[in-house]
A and B are shown apart, each in its own frame.
Chain A
Amino acid sequence: MNTESRNLYFDNAATSWPKPEPVYGAAERYLRRASGNPGRTGSTQTIAAERALYQARESLARFFNAADPSRIVFTFNATDALNMALKGTLAPGDHVLYTAMEHNSVLRPLGGLKRAGLISTQMIPCSEEGLPDLDFLERALRRRTRLLAVNHVSNICGAIAPLKEMLALAHRHGAVLLVDAAQSAGVLPIDVQALPIDLLAFTGHKGLLGPAGTGGLYVRPGLELKPWREGGTGSFSEQDRQPESMPERLEAGTLNGPGLAGLIEGLNFIEEQGLEQIRSREMALSAYLRAKLSPIPGLTLHGPAEPSRCTAVLSLTMAGVDCGELGYTLESAYGILSRTGLHCAPLAHRALGTFPEGTVRLSPGVFTAEADLAYLAGALAEIAKDKARKG
């Protein structure tokens, strides 16, 4: 295979790349022209900065169909939003449920709260396809269960959690549903009115196609969180306490203006393309790749086989080949960039049966072409053949 000058990026689940062209320009324009500190007095330049933030909030609210944009709180990524959600909601004595597919961004904050003796937790097991056991969930919900944390889409195998059913169960027992949309925002439609999610944590730099350092937390009206970070907001400056109004209640310190300016353009790109179209194209590409990979001897694909039950994120292992070595060969010999190992989700790998070795994760993005997937499948077939020959 001719691999010269190839650089095929299959790590969009880590961060999407490239970004739509206007994303770069918007971040630069903000830095050059609008860099007053938003919310801090009303100079012309500051108002220009504030306008960008306003627009980002409006765009995100429209994107997730949130009726009130002030319920969208800017954070620096999904991890930040998840910490804000968990630490702002939970109180001593609370019981928390989470699924085996959760990322360390949920597992570690919960572990910390549990070790401090503040909360008790219980894991909802998942199948080898990465789907949660709903019967177990129903039995595990109790009177003290304050919150159920669900990873909407597995960052390892793309399995889509049945949010509707999980939300119904959580609400029936008076628990709050926290959705980790790190992998799903910009990939699957999310409508916080059609599906009344209580807390939605998302990042800007993956499916939403914006720069790193952007993200947010949607907080359902009527649910008031304890501020997780406190400080300057440019409002109520005479008080030594965080303002109660949203979003200032949860936002303090200088926000990532250039990043959010870029994020607006990422959202615009998705709206222009149409999320439904992006999703259908992704399912088609995913089915194509799976069909190409399935016949390769020694190759195992992990997660749901049915494209409607997963996103395009795909994890695989090759019999007798260490996943780190496979990732290295893909990059060094074929110019294919993947991500190998445990992907910060150790429990998910246990459920999928790939712990502790991990997998090679391949995540196509909106700019991936069918030809790229054909090349990828060809590379894996060649490596497998080579392995079979050498034994």
Chain B
Amino acid sequence: MDGYCYLTFPTVYFAIRTEAVLRETSHSFKLVPVPRSISSSCGTALRCSCTDLTAIKETLTQANVSIENSYGPLP
């Protein structure tokens, strides 16, 4: 699949928490500046493969990470 999917967060606290939670899993991901085409209350977004998106969202929800929105795939 071309492009990445993105998750945005209400605050940067949750963006960093995401990293701590996902490090314990096998998902690959990266924290990146929010793409300009997305509007978010926090400047840091999670970028991941779109095939992993559902599983990642589930993991984060279970770990009480507040997700603002999910996007993708974006080029």
Q: Decide yes or no whether A282 CB sits under 8 A from chain B.
A: no
Q: Which of A43-51, A154-162, A289-297, A330-338 lies on the face that meets chain B?
A: A43-51
Contact assessment for A235 and B31 in the assembled complex, using a CB-CB cutoff below 8 Å: no
Chief secondary structure at chain B's binding surface: mixed
14 A-B pairs (CB sep. < 8 Å): A41-B33, A42-B15, A42-B31, A42-B43, A42-B44, A42-B45, A47-B16, A50-B15, A51-B16, A54-B13, A54-B17, A235-B11, A235-B41, A236-B41
Chain B residues with Cβ below 8 Å from A50 are 12, 15-16, 44
Q: Give the contacting residue for A41; candidates B17, B19, B43; CB below 8 A.
A: B43
Contact assessment for A243 and B44 in the assembled complex, using a CB-CB cutoff below 8 Å: no
8 closest cross-chain pairs (CB), A and B? A42-B44, A42-B33, A54-B16, A41-B43, A39-B12, A236-B41, A235-B41, A41-B33
A70 and chain B: residue at smallest CB distance: B13
- Tell me, rounded to whole Å, the shortest Cβ–Cβ distance linking B25 to chain A: 18
Q: Decide yes or no whether A265 CB sits under 8 A from chain B.
A: no
A residues 212-248 with Cβ under 8 Å of B?
A: 234-236, 243, 245, 247-248
Number of interface residues of B (CB under 8 A): 18
A53-B16, A234-B12, A245-B11 known, 12 other contacts, Cβ within 8 Å: A38-B12, A42-B32, A43-B33, A46-B44, A47-B44, A50-B12, A51-B19, A54-B16, A54-B20, A236-B41, A245-B10, A247-B11
A247 and chain B: residue at smallest CB distance: B13
For the complex, what is the distance from the CA of A39 to the CA of B43, rounded to whole Å? 7
A234 and chain B: residue at smallest CB distance: B43
Q: Which residues of A contact B (CB under 8 A)?
A: 38-43, 46-47, 50-51, 53-54, 57, 69-70, 234-236, 243, 245, 247-248
- Tell me, rounded to whole Å, the shortest Cβ–Cβ distance linking B72 to chain A: 17
Q: Decide yes or no whether B42 CB sits under 8 A from chain A.
A: yes
Contact assessment for A39 and B42 in the assembled complex, using a CB-CB cutoff below 8 Å: yes
Contact assessment for B11 and A70 in the assembled complex, using a CB-CB cutoff below 8 Å: yes
For the complex, what is the distance from the CA of A226 to the CA of B33, rounded to whole Å? 30
A248 and chain B: residue at smallest CB distance: B11
For the complex, what is the distance from the CA of A46 to the CA of B45, rounded to whole Å? 13
- Tell me, rounded to whole Å, the shortest Cβ–Cβ distance linking B1 to chain A: 23
Chain A residues with Cβ below 8 Å from B20 are 54
For the complex, what is the distance from the CA of A43 to the CA of B45, rounded to whole Å? 11
Q: Decide yes or no whether B34 CB sits under 8 A from chain A.
A: yes
Residue among A42, A69, A234, A245 having the largest count of chain B Cβ atoms under 10 Å = A42
Chain A residues with Cβ below 8 Å from B15 are 42, 50
For the complex, what is the distance from the CA of A50 to the CA of B31, rounded to whole Å? 11
Residue among B15, B33, B41, B45 having the largest count of chain A Cβ atoms under 10 Å = B41
Contact assessment for A235 and B12 in the assembled complex, using a CB-CB cutoff below 8 Å: yes
For the complex, what is the distance from the CA of A235 to the CA of B33, rounded to whole Å? 13
For the complex, what is the distance from the CA of A243 to the CA of B19, rounded to whole Å? 23
For the complex, what is the distance from the CA of A53 to the CA of B19, rounded to whole Å? 13
- Tell me, rounded to whole Å, the shortest Cβ–Cβ distance linking A269 to chain B: 22
A40-B43 contact given A54-B13, A54-B16, A54-B17, CB 8 Å threshold: yes
Chain A residues with Cβ below 8 Å from B33 are 41-43
For the complex, what is the distance from the CA of A73 to the CA of B15, rounded to whole Å? 17
